């Protein structure tokens, strides 16, 4: 158990819908990262937050957004969902003094 | 731009045999290197990491990896594989220090390991 929690574990929804994925980092970790894992793209970095502020963006679509709240949990919002958004979405967290990232169990999103 | 290559998509190994997974990276500075393992239906678990110092690093589950700067490689090894080692293994590279501008990890495509009885 990495100490990073993600909810829900599975999500099935229809095209055009909007969903929210939630992540709680390890205790004491200020940074939260979101990654997408799909069969065709592999593991891709989406976005990083540090202590509530966005710090880096990767291959994140405009339909996707994220935020980190004062209690340091983070949410990834995916809207106008398409079939191609079906993937495993991971959250990771790390401490400032080091850059090891610990991953949560992931949320499997299926868009039908 | 940084990149990680894992040349072997699949590897099949007999239980008790040795295992070596290859990883080559391209990075602008001296990187922080990681190996993660993903069991079926599970998240990513950190196996080991190389930051500095001894280029042979030990990790969990009996794995070790060797950093070779001249070859830009960070290969993962295990002397004797167990059936429970069947999983997908990912090599990753990231910045060595926490940077204000971001600390993303770049992952290789993964190597799926199948263990034969």
pLDDT in tens, A65-105: 999 999 999 999 999 999 999 999 999 999 876 678 999 99
B22 at the A interface (CB within 8 A)? no
Q: Which of B43, B49, B101 sits opposite A55 (nearest CB)?
A: B101
Mention every residue, 6+ apart, whose C-beta is less than 8 A from residue A43: A35, A36, A37, A90, B90, B107, B110
B109 at the A interface (CB within 8 A)? yes
CA distance B73 to chain A (A): 19
Residue A40, pLDDT > 90, answer: no
CA distance A7 to chain B (A): 13
Q: How many CB pairs under 8 A join A and B?
A: 64
Query: Which residues on B lie below 8 Å from A92 (Cβ)?
Result: 44, 105
Decide if A90 contacts A34 (C-beta within 8 A).
yes
Burial classification of residue A89, based on how many CB atoms lie within 10 Å of its CB (0-12 exposed, 13-18 middle, 19 or more buried): buried
Burial classification of residue B73, based on how many CB atoms lie within 10 Å of its CB (0-12 exposed, 13-18 middle, 19 or more buried): middle
Mention every residue, 6+ apart, whose C-beta is less than 8 A from residue B68: B55, B74, B75
- Residue B98 and residue A48: Cβ atoms within 8 Å? no
Going residue by residue through chain B, which has 117 residues, state the pLDDT in tens, using 9 for 90 and above: 789 999 999 999 999 999 999 999 998 877 899 999 999 878 899 999 998 889 999 999 999 999 999 999 999 999 999 999 999 999 999 887 776 667 889 999 999 999 999
Q: Which of A43, A99, A103 sits opposite B94 (nearest CB)?
A: A99
- Residue A42 and residue B36: Cβ atoms within 8 Å? no
């Amino acid at each position: 158990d990495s100490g990073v929690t993600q909810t829900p574990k599975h999500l099935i929804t229809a095209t055009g819908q909007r969903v929210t994925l939630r992540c709680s980092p390890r205790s004491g970790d200020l940074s939260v990262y979101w990654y997408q894992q799909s069969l065709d793209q592999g593991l891709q970095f989406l976005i990083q937050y540090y202590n509530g502020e966005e710090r880096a963006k990767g291959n994140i679509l405009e339909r996707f957004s994220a935020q980190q709240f004062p209690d340091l949990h983070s949410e990834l919002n995916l809207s106008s969902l398409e079939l191609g958004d079906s993937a495993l979405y991971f959250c990771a967290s790390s401490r400032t003094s080091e850059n090891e990232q610990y991953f949560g169990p992931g949320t499997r999103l299926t868009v039908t | 731009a940084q990149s990680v290559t894992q040349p072997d998509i699949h590897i099949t190994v007999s239980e008790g045999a040795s295992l070596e997974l290859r990883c080559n990276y391209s990075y602008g500075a001296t990187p922080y290197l990681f190996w993660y393992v993903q069991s079926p239906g599970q998240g990513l678990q950190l196996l080991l990491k190389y930051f500095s110092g001894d280029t042979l690093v030990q990790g969990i589950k009996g794995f070790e990896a060797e950093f070779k700067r001249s070859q830009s490689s960070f290969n993962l090894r295990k002397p004797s594989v167990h059936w429970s080692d069947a999983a997908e293994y990912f090599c990753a590279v990231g910045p060595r220090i926490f940077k204000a501008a971001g600390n993303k990890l770049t992952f290789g495509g993964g190597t799926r390991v199948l263990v034969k009885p």
